Amino acid sequence: MEMDLDTLLEMDPYALKKEEKERALSETLKSLTIYHRKHCEYYDNLLSALDVRDGGSYYDLPMLPVRLFKKYELFSVPREEIKKVMTSSGTSGQQVSKVFLDTRNIRSQSRVLTHLISSFIGRERLPMIVLDTKLVKKDRKMYSARGAGITGFSMYGRNIFYALDENMELDEGGLREYLAEHGNGRILLFGYTYMIWQYVIREMEKRGIAMDIRDGALFHVGGWKKLKDQSVDSETYNRRVRQRLGNLAIHNYYGMAEQLGSIYIECEYGHMHCSNYSDVVIRNPKDFSVCRTREKGLMEVVSILPTSYPGHILLTEDEGEILGEDDCPCGRCGKYFKIYGRIKNAEVRGCSDTYERP
Amino acid sequence: MKDLNLLYLAGGPIEKKEPVTPFDDTVCAFLDDLSKEIRKDPRARLYPDVASFAFYCRKANIAHLKNAYPDRQLRMGRGLAFQIAPSNVPVNFAYTYLFGLLAGNANVVRVSTKTFAQVQIICEAMNRLFEKEEYKKIREQTAIVRYERNREITDRLSVLADIRVIWGGDHTIAELRKSPIRARCTEITFADRYSFGLFDVKAMLDAGEDAVARLADAFYNDTYLMDQNACSTPHMIFWKTTGDAADFAKAQERFWKAVHTVCVRKYDLADIKVSDKYMNLCRMGIDYPGLFKVTRYDNYLYVLTCKRMPEDICALRGSYGMFFQMELSNIEEICPVIHEKVQTCAVFGINENEVRDIVIKNRLTGIDRVVPVGKTLDIGIIWDGYDLVRQLSRVVG
């Protein structure tokens, strides 16, 4: 049976087990595929050219390379119904992804995101510290993706405080004042993985200061590339964040502009979790066959949310591996996994391009 | 050119141009010694491209090439050739130098700033020979240089040149043409080109297992070896029909399966290549609706079978092992899509002269080269429609 969003929103977001989930996801993603073929000409042209076999499972449905959203304007609703075009720079920096959202898709994204976040922190809005600068929201051109992330997450907080000033300097005094006022109860913190490290944690270490948050939940996103270059792994990261900020539950999460809403949140055991709304399939790069548990490969991400654009089944350029399914000690069902980050660039051979571009 | 800030990998600044006649005796002797010197280097064995260059400049081959120039005593090098080698084909600089030298010129060859062991092996061998008194003259006429992209240096070298040779495609040519050359100076440019194959269905069905395996191996060298990025690499294979569609189905499957076998054994299919190739496949599906149906042999090989003749084949490019194919009832059906961008036609089971005749009879502007599969990357004096020794020399009439 197809998944129904209203029903799913009534359930625990990590309740579905393997068999039930696979059956429901297959039905839902198959009908989404049919829907998008009917309403998005590019998508239909592409699928007609591919050698798609129908094995009955969503594992057999065609994946779109996530980069395709940088090259084509893909949407499945009449143009005039599009209310928002999400953009993201991705990695290459030159071209941006364009994700076309109608009212329904915007709403389902936000409802699902709320459902997932609140399963970790409850439904009540908490005092919130953004470990970034207010400027990212003002200067839209420079920081569109970063600013949008902060705006989106701010829905879950109240009395929002920005820990960095417009020069990206840590506002130590302001932070202490804020904690004096709100530090007795639970606090929500949000920021970008690398920004937190570089401008908050490293800075506090340099200044030799620490805060003593008694009960906080930190959500962070953005990738580990720069931290990897500095040989900082997640254990080191979490340890040093706690040393400087206090008693925090730390939740890294994985998501992308092309599948907003159905994000993958790290549990207290450090595992990223698929929810009822999403799944991850690891593909062997040699033939796109499905990798076994604990086998590294390219990550395919699926989500039941994309209705206004054909982004329900995507092949990412990230590497990852499945750690297990339905058996994480945290009690959440569904697959849980680990991400290794972006695949490496290769040296390309050939005879063009004498003058290397800078 | 002494005052220019250049790194000399071989030779040195050229003080005076002293052109000689093509296939000058000292030049020929030098090339044969260079061949021997390279082959003495144990590292050369690790690089098939270095080995084939050494093989190319040995005495017997040069003597053979010389035969095509009975008029050589009435010709001379133009003076100084300024040559810009491509960045991603390591040994190309050596061939372009060899052609400039054989034509009788002083040569300034700019090699890529990317460092390749092949460049080092060849330049070191040259430098060892340059220590000999008998090759002093050649040393004085040779400058293999490396410099970071620098307009001022390129300007200065361009003004010195009597002929400028630019490899590297349309973008590089446009970039370098910003540096003016003198009025008498001529230019040879190697622009972006497109190449294809022409195979016979019957020949594929008649070939023995070994022949098909050898063909697949040769095809691998034409394509995967350079990630399909060389201008003479085929992207589209046209098949001459037997009249029976089932024969085509069998023949193409036989061929591609053999190619797949070679790839699995030899090709380094990096994750990023898979990602790029799959992306490219999807783009083709969107850009050319209804044109083709793909058959995937894992991610090593994608074969896109066209249902009709595309308007412009030159846009149908693959990389890392993605090919288009189409069955033709008559090989002259290719004529409408052959224009000046088309360079090499690689044949299997088709007579090379038959293709050359089609070019002439139909007054085509494209196809400069017809070679058997496996030979598309073999560079020679006749390249891209130019006779390089004649282009690089002048007539003393």
- In this structure, the answer to whether residues B216 and B359 fall within a common structural domain is yes
- In this structure, the answer to whether residues B188 and B139 fall within a common structural domain is yes
Å between A110 CA and nearest CA of chain B: 30
Confidence band of A91 (pLDDT split at 50, 70, 90) = very low
pLDDT of residue A147: 78
Q: Which residues of B touch A341 (CB under 8 A)?
A: none
Element (H, E) at B305: strand B301-306
CATH of the domain at B64: 3.40.605.10
Q: Is there a contact between B201 and B239 (Cβ–Cβ < 8 Å)?
A: yes
pLDDT of residue A354: 37
Instruction: State the Cα–Cα distance between residues B136 and A221, nearest whole angstrom.
Output: 64
CA B391 to mean position of chain CA atoms: 17
Q: Which residues of B touch A95 (CB under 8 A)?
A: none
Q: Which residues of A touch B281 (CB under 8 A)?
A: 49-50
Instruction: State the Cα–Cα distance between residues B225 and B237, nearest whole angstrom.
Output: 18
Q: Is there a contact between B207 and B228 (Cβ–Cβ < 8 Å)?
A: no
- In this structure, the answer to whether residues B171 and B70 fall within a common structural domain is yes
Do the domain assignments include residue B26? yes
Q: In this complex, which of A64, A285, A351 lies closest to B89 when CB atoms are compared? A: A351
Write out the residue range of the structural domain in which residue B75 sits. Answer: 7-192
How many Cα atoms sit within 13 Å of B393 on the Cβ side? 29
Interface confidence (ipTM) of the complex: 0.91
Å between B94 CA and nearest CA of chain A: 14
Do the domain assignments include residue B383? no
Instruction: State the Cα–Cα distance between residues A271 and A255, nearest whole angstrom.
Output: 14
Confidence band of A96 (pLDDT split at 50, 70, 90) = confident
Range of weakest confidence among A122-131, A134-143, B386-395: A134-143
Burial class (CB in 10 A: 0-12, 13-18, 19+), A56: exposed
Tell me which residue of B82, B84, B187 sits closest to B142, measured CA to CA.
B82
- In this structure, the answer to whether residues B179 and B216 fall within a common structural domain is no
- In this structure, the answer to whether residues B180 and B228 fall within a common structural domain is no
| A159-196 per-position pLDDT tens digit | 999 999 989 999 999 999 999 999 889 999 999 999 99
- In this structure, the answer to whether residues B151 and B278 fall within a common structural domain is no
| Cβ count within 10 A of residue B365 | 10
Best of A352, A356, A357 to mutate (most B CBs within 10 Å, chain B): A352
- First vs last C-alpha separation in chain A: 54
- On average, the pLDDT of chain A sits at 90
Question: Residue A46 and residue B114: Cβ atoms within 8 Å?
Answer: no
Tell me which residue of B176, B225, B147, B193 sits closest to B313, measured CA to CA.
B193
- In this structure, the answer to whether residues B229 and B153 fall within a common structural domain is no
Question: Residue B229 and residue A356: Cβ atoms within 8 Å?
Answer: no
Q: Is there a contact between B95 and B53 (Cβ–Cβ < 8 Å)?
A: yes
The dihedral of CA A194, A197, A200, A202: what is its sign?
A: negative
pLDDT of residue B36: 97
Do the domain assignments include residue B395? no
pLDDT of residue A149: 81
As for how many domains chain B has, the answer is 2
- In this structure, the answer to whether residues B185 and B94 fall within a common structural domain is yes
User: Which residues touch A124 (CB under 8 Å, ≥6 apart)?
Assistant: none
Do the domain assignments include residue B386? no
Confidence band of A35 (pLDDT split at 50, 70, 90) = very high
Using a CB–CB cut-off of 8 Å, the residues of A that contact B are: 41-42, 45-51, 64-65, 67-68, 71-72, 285-288, 298, 315, 317, 319, 343-346, 348-356, 358
Q: Is there a contact between B135 and B31 (Cβ–Cβ < 8 Å)?
A: no
Tell me which residue of B159, B188, B190 sits closest to B80, measured CA to CA.
B159
Return the number of CB contacts < 8 Å for A and B: 145
- In this structure, the answer to whether residues B187 and B198 fall within a common structural domain is no
The torsion angle over the Cα atoms of residues A182, A183, A187 and A192, rounded to 10 degrees, is 100
B85 touches chain A (CB under 8 A): yes
Instruction: State the Cα–Cα distance between residues B179 and B266, nearest whole angstrom.
Output: 42
Confidence band of A139 (pLDDT split at 50, 70, 90) = low
Q: DSSP labels for A207-236?
A: HT----EEEEEEEEES-SHHHHHTT--HHH
Do the domain assignments include residue B248? yes
Confidence band of A94 (pLDDT split at 50, 70, 90) = low
What residue type is B226 in one-letter code?
Answer: M
Reduced to 3 states, what is the DSSP secondary structure of residue B194?
Answer: strand
Instruction: State the Cα–Cα distance between residues A172 and A277, nearest whole angstrom.
Output: 40
Residues of chain B with pLDDT under 50: none
Tokens 């405080």 locate to: A161
The pTM is what? Answer: 0.90
Domain final residue pick, B152, B170, B192: B192
- In this structure, the answer to whether residues B138 and B244 fall within a common structural domain is no
Angle CA B387–B11–B380, to nearest 5: 20
Å between A307 CA and nearest CA of chain B: 20
Mean pLDDT, residues A49-54 taken together = 81
Tell me which residue of A149, A92, A254 sits closest to B279, measured CA to CA.
A92
| Residue of chain A minimizing CA distance to B190 | A352
Domains of chain A: 1-70+272-343 (2.30.38.10), 124-266 (3.40.50)
A16: pLDDT strictly greater than 90: yes
Tell me which residue of B145, B152, B88 sits closest to B118, measured CA to CA.
B88
Q: What share of chain B is helix, strand, coil (3-state, %, to 5)?
A: 45, 20, 35
CA distances from B152 to B10, B158, B180 (A): 22, 10, 11
B296 touches chain A (CB under 8 A): yes
Touching A: B residues 136-155, CB under 8 Å: 149
- In this structure, the answer to whether residues B201 and B167 fall within a common structural domain is no
CA distances from A175 to A151, A170, A215, A248, B32 (A): 20, 9, 15, 16, 77
| B75-102 per-position pLDDT tens digit | 999 999 999 999 878 899 999 999 999 9
Tell me which residue of B259, B284, B246 sits closest to A50, measured CA to CA.
B284
Q: In this complex, which of B86, B114, B175 lies closest to A351 when CB atoms are compared? A: B86
Question: Residue B171 and residue A352: Cβ atoms within 8 Å?
Answer: yes
Do the domain assignments include residue B2? no
| Residue of chain B minimizing CA distance to A71 | B283
Question: Residue B169 and residue A352: Cβ atoms within 8 Å?
Answer: yes
pLDDT of residue A54: 72
Reduced to 3 states, what is the DSSP secondary structure of residue A281?
Answer: strand
- In this structure, the answer to whether residues B75 and B160 fall within a common structural domain is yes
Do the domain assignments include residue B110? yes
Q: DSSP labels for B266-278?
A: H----HHHHHHHH
A9: pLDDT strictly greater than 80: yes
B397 touches chain A (CB under 8 A): no
Tokens 């054994």 locate to: B265
Element (H, E) at A88: strand A82-88
Angle CA B166–B373–B317, to nearest 5: 60
Do the domain assignments include residue B241? yes
Q: Is there a contact between A324 and A269 (Cβ–Cβ < 8 Å)?
A: no
Q: DSSP labels for B158-175?
A: HHH-SEEEE-S-HHHHHH
Tell me which residue of B137, B178, B182, B146 sits closest to B163, measured CA to CA.
B182
CATH of the domain at B232: 3.40.309.10
